[in-house]
Chains A and B, each alone.
Chain A
Amino acid sequence: GQNIDQPTEMTATEGAIVQINCTYQTSGFNGLFWYQQHAGEAPTFLSYNVLDGLEEKGRFSSFLSRSKGYSYLLLKELQMKDSASYLCAVKDSNYQLIWGAGTKLIIKP
């Protein structure tokens, strides 16, 4: 079956750096996405990786290793507003999004 794993919850300190990992096993691969979701709201797009390597976008970076079925989202200079759930999703061979359960990130002052 298809499976995406990410930690359930993480805690970090304001101003620090946090890395959220995601491992996947899917039928085919057409890109990996990271979304941010605040409680009661729809997910918002953060990043997209289809080739191996690091994609940097401001305070957020995302890394992909296709051979290892592994990605991480790196958040720098954490702010209180970064407290949210972070969802990892992979598009399979049918371009259907397979979702991880999400990682709840708690930022402490």
Chain B
Amino acid sequence: GAVVSQHPSRVICKSGTSVKIECRSLDFQATTMFWYRQFPKQSLMLMATSNEGSKATYEQGVEKDKFLINHASLTLSTLTVTSAHPEDSSFYICSANLGGPTEAFFGQGTRLTVV
């Protein structure tokens, strides 16, 4: 099946710094990728939809200037958490699908800890 690779799997950063998370579709082209956030014992929360060649679409309540999304190619989307704060510590997951009714393919997830 299709493979989505997410990197890094874990990152610890200091407050005020920025962290970039990469999401790659390895064997298919993804015009759309999705970024999720998941707090402990809670379900996935869609943050934004990343569109290749255009601006991302952010869900209500998600700060676009804080969570910068770039989808410069059909196989790569990046999420940059800017000026990170401890409350940004969470599990971030990307996904992509082949379009239409097919399943979503997930990256491995990134555990971000801001200290």
Contact = CB atoms under 8 A, between A and B. Distances in A.
A101 B103 contact: no
Contacts of A105: none
Interface residues of B, number: 23
Interface in B96-115: 97, 99-101, 103-109, 111
A102 to B, nearest CB: 5
Contacts of B111: 40
Contact of B106 (A42, A48, A99): A42
Contacts, number: 49
A14 B80 CA distance: 43
Contact of B103 (A33, A41, A100, A102): A33
Contact of A87 (B44, B45, B46, B103): B44
B42 A101 contact: yes
Interface residues of A, number: 22
A102 B93 contact: no
A101 B106 contact: no
28 contacts: A31-B101, A33-B103, A33-B104, A40-B91, A40-B109, A41-B108, A42-B106, A42-B107, A43-B44, A43-B106, A44-B106, A45-B103, A45-B104, A48-B103, A87-B43, A91-B101, A95-B97, A95-B99, A95-B100, A96-B49, A97-B34, A97-B46, A99-B44, A99-B46, A100-B43, A101-B42, A101-B43, A102-B43
Interface of B: 6, 34, 41-46, 49, 91, 93, 97, 99-101, 103-109, 111
Given A95-B101, A99-B46, A100-B43, 16 more contacts: A40-B91, A41-B108, A42-B6, A42-B93, A42-B108, A43-B106, A45-B103, A45-B104, A48-B101, A50-B101, A87-B44, A89-B104, A95-B99, A97-B34, A101-B43, A102-B43
